[in-house]
Amino acid sequence: MVEPIGRRERKRLATHHALRAAALRLGAERGIRDVTVEEIATAADVSVRTFYDHFPSKEDAIIGFDAWRVDQLRDALADRPADEAPLEALRVVMGQLFHESSGEWPLRMRAINADPALLGRMFVSFIAYERALVEVIAQRTGLDSERDPYPALVTAVATAAFRASMTTARASGGALDPAATFDAAITRLGAALSPPQREDGPTTC
């Protein structure tokens, strides 16, 4: 767990964080569409070229999630009790997304409000999570994710709850708490999504 990290990588992480923080701040202030990559790079005191070595686009610097988070989420799901319902396991694991990233969410939400197109980009970035989680669910249920729609379905439904919670919380102007709404939505859906019986080949659903 405690990896000895060298000075080089520490500096790289600092640069990475500085770029993300700059993008987040500028995007929240003025909307990402009115911010150029050059401004972000300058704010982080690096060159434009370096920015592109850390993020494929300025949008990703705001709403994209690092690759290691995907692994982290996958491991967290794999560590859930084997007898736990898939959707319940997803609720616990995905719910953590609301609480992480040390204060990045408020800025991120403001950036999204300033340019709602970012919400779409965010949902797209969830696809990477989904791909990883689908495999874990398939393994837990003993189903083949390429022949049985169930793993993809239950994961997509969990993401749907996440999306709906974000959207509604945003629409309510802060009256609703995304995390609580997410938990309630998942609980509501839980009854319908216990895994199908296997043995008898891929289920129709």
* Residue 39 or 177 with smaller CB distance to DNA: 39
Q: Which residues bind DNA (CB under 7 A)?
A: 6-9, 11-12, 15, 35-38, 45-50, 52-54, 56-58
Nearest to 80 by CA among 71, 72, 92: 92
Nearest to 64 by CA among 77, 73, 55: 55
Check residue 19 and give left, alpha or beta (phi > 0: left; psi -120 to 50: alpha).
Answer: alpha
- CB 141 to DNA: min, Å: 36
Q: Are 140 and 90 in contact (CB under 8 A)?
A: no
Partner whose binding site includes residue 120, from DNA, its own copies, none (CB under 5 to 8 Å by kind): its own copies
CA 89/CA 91 separation, integer angstroms: 5
Q: Should residue 153 be labelled a site residue for its own copies when binding is judged by CB under 8 A?
A: yes
Sites of contact with its own copies (CB under 8 A): 119-121, 123-124, 127, 145-149, 152-153, 155-157, 159-161, 163-165, 167-168, 171-173, 175-176, 181, 184-185, 187-193, 204-205
